[in-house]
């Protein structure tokens, strides 16, 4: 497997840090290795932001890396450095090189500060004839302070000179020690020397400014030099003489130290680049002129692209994740330099619960990523991949290919969304500050989108409270227009036809008068539960009034499912009232099939009210109420025993009433004649026998109470197939 190193550093866009990174990448490529770089998008003292940024390191799978280079001084916050150092000690099993003077707990690598400071000091002695010099260095407890001081002393000693102890000043690598030294000169506590050799540019610049405020001229009255080669030293007035160390070479040296730890083989960098003494006006030399380069022009073009693109507005205007992803990928040109097109790629990887707060506002991810990450893609659905892979399949190296992949945390404060991946194939210096600006825009826009989703969810739940009946939990009539589109689409999707059933419990006022409103409410709640239990075919149930209900459903073309549904509902309601010892209240109903359905959602509510009015108009007689339990039992037996010799006379005799009267109340009770039910029960039983037995057609006809020829004609007329065709077709399918 191809080897790969990880680099952990902050502020990659700063010149000195970028130079180090380029040196490391150059050496890695020359050894056939790829690079993973983990960097921050926002260094801030806010504890929530720190949590969000530190979460990035939980994406690291150390089994995919052969070594780590850690650059602690590139982070502005000591808190980040301490966290990363602790994280590496607890989790990292591979070698770690730490760029800096500190020796523990990892292998250190740093400049040869001593030799370079000696070169600065020799210039003052040999070219400017300085003999009385003060060295202003850093804190006394820091090793780098002594290394640079020793370089100064080496040059003094080599020139046959001595340095009094009072000419060695330990400072702070910052502005305050330089300002205090300038005040000592101005107030006469120290005599002005020929030169002050500062061991970094920050102190040199601060000293020049403080001396000027006291009327002491640089270099006419005293020479000042720095060390670092910073841009600030170049643009200062006067420009400060300094030593520009080779940060690129430090990067190369860092990799070779790590390579030896990884392989046991000691190697030298493939190229060497020494630092440069930059002689400028602060020591009395003429300064150099800096000309614009192609890099400057390229950067200006990217800046124009970024400003002209209105990226923030475009991302914040996205109302869905799909639209956001498309807009984001359309905008990657704002940070990708044109010369790297075709060799670079960006990917946003989101946790599978990145917007979980839509449901649980106070329960969101702050530490670690989901085990399955989602690779977002342009105009395509997201693709899941294991977090342990770190990168999606199409972002992995191909055989013989070297690449650099940058990882940044995607978050808003401590709310973890995922991480971003920027990959360059064979490119060394493609990273720019524009990428981090892009990342911040993405982070903020994702949070804005999440909040939008949360508000939409809140609005939806608020809508549900308006369209749900508080007593039964069923939808109310106001919800019908909202349900209409999904209802029709769902029924037609499975190639069925729509139907409505309106149900009305009559005489509720009598129950209230007899037993109180509590018993009435119990009855309504019990009926709504029975309604939902009876509806097992994805129907939608609504409460449309005090005792009024509506069922939206679907059934196959040649089915009487709605008849059976009404039967089950009425029987269940009857049984409940009997068990509860209540006076039987009649349940009226009306059915509407698709042919008479309203055409638009706006027409739904009026159509439902008309159907309910129709149901209420079909008031059952008292006699029907009296015989309903017996009628329901008879109907169950007809369907349970279709082979019996059922007839109108037989059925009416069981209820001990006349045939004409029986026919009338049966029709009113169930909306279908008894003869039709008998006919339907026999044919349904015939279908079952054809599919589940090997009976001959004659035997099937006999068991269903038909003679053979009548059975054949009736079956073909009802179903459009002969019994033989029906049996063969169902068996083959």
Summarize pLDDT for 305-340 with one digit per residue, the tens. 555 567 888 889 888 899 999 999 988 887 777 777
How do residues 13-30 score in pLDDT, each as one tens digit?
Answer: 888 889 899 999 999 999
- What pLDDT band is residue 290 in, cutting at 50, 70 and 90? very low
- Quickly state the pLDDT bin for 275 (edges 50, 70, 90): confident
Give the side-chain half-sphere CA count within 13 A for 521: 7
Q: How far apart are CA 308 and CA 317, in angstroms?
A: 17
What is the Cα–Cα distance from 479 to 173, expressed in whole angstroms?
Answer: 71
CB 10 within 8 A of CB 431: no
Query: Which residues on neighbouring strands pair with residue 500, listed in sequence order?
Result: 552, 592
Task: Decide: 511 and 519 in contact? Cβ < 8 Å.
Answer: yes
Could you give the CA distance from residue 528 to residue 587 in angstroms, rounded to a whole number? 13
Q: What are phi and psi of 121, to 5 degrees?
A: -65, -40
Residue reference for tokens 């026919």 = 663
All structural domains of the chain: 4-109+304-453 (no CATH), 113-244 (3.40.50.2300), 475-619 (3.30.70.270), 676-732 (1.10.10.60)
Q: CB neighbours (10 Å) of residue 437?
A: 17
Beta strands in 92-241 (DSSP E): 96-99, 107-109, 133-137, 168-170, 195-198, 223-225
* Lowest-pLDDT choice from 96-105, 246-255, 501-510, 691-700: 96-105
Q: In sequence order, what are the residues at sequence separation of 6 or more whose Cβ sits closer than 8 angstroms to the Cβ of residue 480?
A: 542, 550, 601, 604, 605, 608
Closest CA to 191 of 137, 120, 134: 134
What does each C-alpha distance from 83 to 41, 80, 88, 90, 418 come to in angstroms? 16, 5, 9, 11, 20
Per-residue pLDDT band for 291 (boundaries 50, 70, 90) equals very low
Greater confidence (691 vs 536) lies with 691
Please report, for the chain, how many H helices and E strands are present, in that order.
Answer: 25, 21
Per-residue pLDDT at 294: 38
Label residue 289 by pLDDT band (50, 70, 90): very low
143-201 per-position pLDDT tens digit: 889 999 999 999 999 999 999 999 999 999 899 999 999 999 999 999 999 999 999 99
pTM score > 0.75 for this model? Answer: no
Higher pLDDT, 457 or 225: 225
Residue 622, pLDDT score: 44
Closest CA to 64 of 112, 4, 10, 117: 4
Higher-confidence residue of 625 and 275: namely: 275
The better pLDDT of the pair 269, 730 is held by: 269
Tokens at 581, concatenated:
């010892």
Mean pLDDT of 86-93: 92
The tens digit of pLDDT for each residue in 689-708 reads 888 888 899 998 888 888 88
Q: What is the per-residue pLDDT across 361-405, written as a single tens digit (0 to 9) for each?
A: 556 888 889 999 999 998 888 999 999 999 999 888 888 789 999
Over residues 40-82, the pLDDT tens digits come to 988 777 888 888 888 899 999 999 999 999 998 888 777 888 8
- Of 435, 421, 457, 452, the closest CA to residue 323 belongs to 452
Has residue 295 got a pLDDT over 50? no
Give the separation between CA 348 and CA 438, rounded to whole angstroms.
12
Contact (CB, 8 A) for 85 and 72: yes
Q: What is the pLDDT of residue 92?
A: 93
Q: Is pLDDT of 732 > 70?
A: no
Q: What is the DSSP letter of 42?
A: -
Integer Cα distance of 335 and 572 in angstroms:
69
| pLDDT level of residue 621 (50, 70, 90 thresholds) | very low
323 CB-near residues (< 8 Å, 6+ apart): none
Q: How many other β-carbons are positioned within 10 Å of the β-carbon of residue 624?
A: 17
**H-state helical runs in 309-432:** 311-316, 321-330
Rounded CA separation 328/440 (Å): 12
Model pLDDT, residue 188: 95
**pLDDT one-digit tens code per residue, 180-194:** 999 999 999 999 999
For 649-682, the pLDDT digits (tens) are 888 888 777 788 788 888 877 778 888 888 888 8
**What average pLDDT is seen over the chain?**
86
Lowest mean pLDDT: which of 141-145, 459-463, 613-617?
459-463
The predicted pLDDT at position 206 comes to 96
Tell me if residue 16 falls in helix, strand or coil: helix
């Amino acid at each position: 497997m191809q080897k790969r190193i990880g680099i952990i550093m902050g502020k990659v866009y700063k010149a000195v840090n970028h130079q180090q990174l380029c040196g490391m990448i150059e050496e890695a490529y020359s050894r056939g290795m790829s690079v993973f770089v983990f960097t921050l998008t926002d260094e801030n003292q806010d504890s929530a932001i720190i949590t969000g940024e530190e979460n990035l390191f939980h994406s690291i799978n150390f089994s995919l890396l052969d070594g780590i280079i850690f650059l602690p001084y590139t982070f502005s916050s000591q808190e980040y450095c301490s966290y990363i150092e602790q994280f590496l000690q607890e989790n990292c099993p591979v070698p770690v090189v730490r760029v800096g003077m500190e020796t523990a707990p990892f292998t250190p690598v740093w400049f040869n500060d001593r030799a370079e400071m000696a070169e600065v000091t020799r210039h003052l002695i040999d070219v400017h004839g300085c003999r009385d010099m003060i060295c202003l260095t850093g804190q006394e407890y820091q090793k780098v302070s002594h290394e640079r001081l020793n370089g100064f002393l080496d040059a003094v000693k080599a020139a046959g000179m001595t340095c009094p102890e009072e000419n060695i000043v330990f400072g702070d690598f910052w502005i305050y020690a330089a300002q205090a030294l300038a005040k000592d000169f101005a107030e006469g506590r120290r005599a002005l020397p020929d030169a002050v050799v500062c061991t970094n540019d920050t102190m040199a610049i601060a000293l020049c400014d403080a001396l000027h405020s006291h009327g002491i001229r640089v270099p006419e009255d005293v020479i000042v030099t720095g060390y670092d080669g910073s841009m600030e030293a170049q643009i200062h007035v006067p420009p400060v003489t300094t030593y520009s160390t080779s940060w690129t070479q430090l990067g190369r040296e860092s990799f070779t130290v790590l390579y030896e730890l990884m392989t046991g083989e000691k190697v030298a960098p493939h190229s060497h680049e020494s630092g440069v003494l930059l002689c400028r006006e602060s020591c009395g030399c003429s300064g150099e002129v800096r000309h614009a380069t192609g890099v400057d022009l390229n950067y200006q073009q990217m800046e124009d692209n970024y400003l002209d693109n209105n990226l923030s507005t475009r991302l914040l205007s996205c109302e869905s994740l799909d639209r956001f992803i498309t807009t984001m990928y359309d905008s990657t040109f704002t940070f990708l330099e044109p010369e790297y097109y075709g060799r670079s790629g960006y990917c946003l990887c989101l946790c599978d619960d990145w917007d979980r707060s839509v449901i649980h506002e106070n329960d969101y991810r702050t530490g670690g990523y989901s085990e399955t990450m989602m690779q977002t893609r342009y105009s395509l659905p997201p693709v899941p991949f294991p977090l342990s892979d770190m990168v999606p399949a199409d972002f992995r190296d191909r055989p013989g290919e070297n690449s650099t992949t940058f990882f940044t945390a995607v978050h808003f404060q401590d709310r973890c969304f995922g991480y971003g991946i920027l990959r360059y194939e064979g490119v060394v210096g493609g990273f720019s500050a524009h990428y981090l600006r892009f990342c911040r825009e993405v982070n903020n826009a994702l949070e804005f989108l999440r909040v939008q989703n949360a508000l939409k969810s809140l609005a939806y739940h608020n809508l549900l409270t308006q369209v749900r009946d508080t007593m039964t939990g069923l939808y109310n009539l106001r919800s019908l227009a909202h349900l209409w589109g999904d209802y029709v689409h769902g029924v037609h999707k499975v190639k069925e036809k729509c139907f409505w059933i309106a149900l009305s419990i009559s005489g509720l006022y009598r129950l209230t008068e007899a037993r109180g409103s509590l018993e009435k409410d119990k009855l309504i709640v019990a009926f709504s539960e029975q309604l939902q239990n009876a509806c097992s075919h994805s129907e939608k149930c609504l409460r449309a009034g005090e005792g009024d209900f509506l069922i939206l459903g679907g059934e196959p073309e040649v089915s009487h499912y709605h008849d059976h549904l009404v039967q089950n509902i009425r029987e269940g309601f009857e049984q409940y009232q009997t068990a509860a010892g209540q006076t039987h209240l009649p349940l009226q109903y009306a059915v509407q099939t698709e042919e008479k359905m309203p055409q638009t959602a706006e027409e739904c509510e009026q159509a439902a009210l008309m159907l309910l009015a129709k149901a209420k108009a079909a008031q059952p007689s008292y006699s029907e109420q009296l015989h309903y339990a017996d009628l329901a039992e008879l109907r169950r037996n007809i369907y349970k025993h279709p082979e019996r010799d059922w007839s109108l006379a037989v059925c009416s005799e069981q209820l001990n009433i006349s045939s004409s009267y029986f026919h009338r109340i049966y029709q009113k009770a169930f909306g279908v004649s008894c003869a039709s039910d008998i006919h339907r029960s026999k044919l349904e039983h015939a279908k079952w026998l054809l599919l589940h037995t090997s009976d001959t057609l004659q035997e099937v006809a006999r068991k269903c109470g038909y003679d053979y020829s009548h059975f054949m004609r009736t079956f073909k007329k009802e179903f459009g197939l002969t019994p033989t065709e029906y049996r063969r077709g169902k068996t083959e399918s």
